Amino acid sequence: MERRTLLPTMPRLAALLAVSLSVALAVPLGARAQAGLVSTLGISRNFAAPLDASGTALWGTPLLSVTRDDGATWRQAALDSLRIGRYRVLSLDADGPTVWAGLYTFLDTGIDAIDRIRDAGFAVTTDNGATFRRLPPLLDRTTDTVVVYGNSRIVTRIVTSVDTDRGLARSFGIAYDPDSAAVWVAGGYLGLRRSLDGGATWERIVLPPDNLDEIRPEGVYAFRLGPKTAGFPLGHFNHDVGAVLVDGRGIVWAGSARGLNRSLDYGASWRRFQPTGSAAALPSSFVGVLREQYADDPTRSAVWIATYQNPEVADAGRDGLVVTADGGQTFRQALSGETVFDLAFDGATVYAGTARGLLASTDGGTTWSRRRDLCDPGEGTAACRPDRPVYAVAVTGAGTTSATLWAGTADGLFESRDGGASWTVNRAVAGLTTTQGQRTTTVETFAYPNPFSPAGDRVVRVRFDATGSGAYTVRVFDFAMRLVRTLDADRTTGTAHEVLWDGTDADGLRVPNGPYFYTAEGEGRSVRGKILVVD
């Protein structure tokens, strides 16, 4: 995210040098810089998250794509593992020519055919995507057992590949600070890490233990550094870090499973904020999202904090949203009971992507309005959802008359040129012909998503090959081959065509779970496929 330079670089670097933290691990820079971006037909996946805007450029979607012309054209990072979909983007920070993306992949455990998530390191560009380089995951060495923190020697928990294989140690959040060129990573079980040399080496940042609200280098401490686990019972939930932000004042914020941590001296000393039961405090101790809203007066820029219920404590608290406009001196709850996945800003307008849709506020979070149903008029009302979850939100061209609002959902990337009054959708629509290596496969029809959840997905799209210019009829049958629903397709234009089904029968009733078969007939030909309905 773009930031204004509010503190000169040298004072911030001086703060870096003032604290003595031992380097906890070193990772090689890896392969040479690789080719940058390649043109694509659209977004890489229909699950369009995460997103981050830098000026008029929108970066995001799971395979690291970018558009600089409001979705007219798309390009994707030309890293082999991203292009074939092996790796995906979990966290993202785009700031001018520099983009950091935290990657993950699926690990097949071989146990009950369950996939787990594994950390896959980073993809980095410092030249606006002209070239990228890959950095490996952050793993500790067997000798990284102690961190020197001021007057104290803090014993640490070593994070190994077992933690990354379990999805517990990965880059849940990234903050690139252009003023110091430092990169901060909220790494879950890795805790909070920082690199001052572009990822060549990383250091642990010491946060307060669960029983202390403040730590300073001049103090003397004997706590353990690491998340509380069965194998590390003396650890602390506050060392399980899921969000990080460096704001325009130079304040570093780190959200954990046990509070909101703030550093006024760039990571040397910390104060931790926790719920108090008051409306002027956090709704919960589990902090998952940190975003900054810039103001014309830099000292009035606001930091927004999303919290989630915390099952690790007796009073789990609640999902919600809180804001501070004075660097943490005071807090104000802006949403209560809403699960907020992401935030974006256009001047004074705050957009919140939530589990129940896209919300907006123009008065600092005092009142909120729900933006119009996310649907493209060209798809008809069947695809409209008043409560479609919005997992990512961004604004390109913020502060200008040509600003574009983006909402990432599980069923496409929606864009609005009028602040959410109307929408168009970008989708990654797979073709009927696919190529993998030297093998090319062509099918006549398929349906997606499949399996299909009428409650969750709302519609399933039946895609088929229309070879001529004529009308097609799609019929849906149950397992006993009884006709359930007839769908009329528009006249085709000699290419692949798509018809939507909302999972209801001819009487408008929701069909039971189970397998369904469909035929698409027209121009003297018929193609067949299968849909599995699950809810």
Task: Tell me the percentage of the chain whose pLDDT exceeds 70.
Answer: 84
3-state secondary structure 420-488: CCCCEEECCCCCCEEEECCEEEECCEEEECCCECHHHHCCEEEEEECCCCCCCEEEEECCCCCEEEEEE
d(CA 263, CA 53): 26
Cα(379)–Cα(402) distance, integer angstroms: 25
pLDDT for position 13: 36
Element (H, E) at 106: strand 98-108
Q: Is the pLDDT at 498 greater than 60, yes or no? A: yes
Q: How confident is the model at residue 86 (pLDDT cuts 50, 70, 90)?
A: confident
CA distances from 26 to 30, 133, 150, 198 (A): 12, 17, 21, 12
Please answer whether residues 361 and 349 qualify as being in contact, where contact means their C-beta atoms are separated by less than 8 angstroms.
Answer: yes
CB 245 within 8 A of CB 303: yes
Distance CA 33, CA 471 (A): 50
User: Which of 385, 387, 403 shows the shortest CA–CA distance to 395?
Assistant: 403
The answer, yes or no, to whether residue 299 has pLDDT greater than 80, is: no
Q: What is the mean pLDDT of residues 191-195?
A: 97
Please write down the HEC assignment for all residues of 241-285: EEEEEECCCCCEEEEECCEEEEECCCCCCEEEECCCCCCCCCCCC
- Domains of the chain, start order: 9-426 (2.130.10.10), 433-533 (2.60.40.4070)
Which of 60-64, 71-75, 283-287, 474-478 is least confident?
A: 60-64
- How far is 363 from 361, CA to CA, in rounded Å? 6
Q: By C-alpha distance, which of 286, 385, 395 is closest to 350?
A: 395
Residue 262, amino acid: R
Q: What is the per-residue pLDDT across 432-452, written as a single tens digit (0 to 9) for each?
A: 555 444 455 567 888 877 888
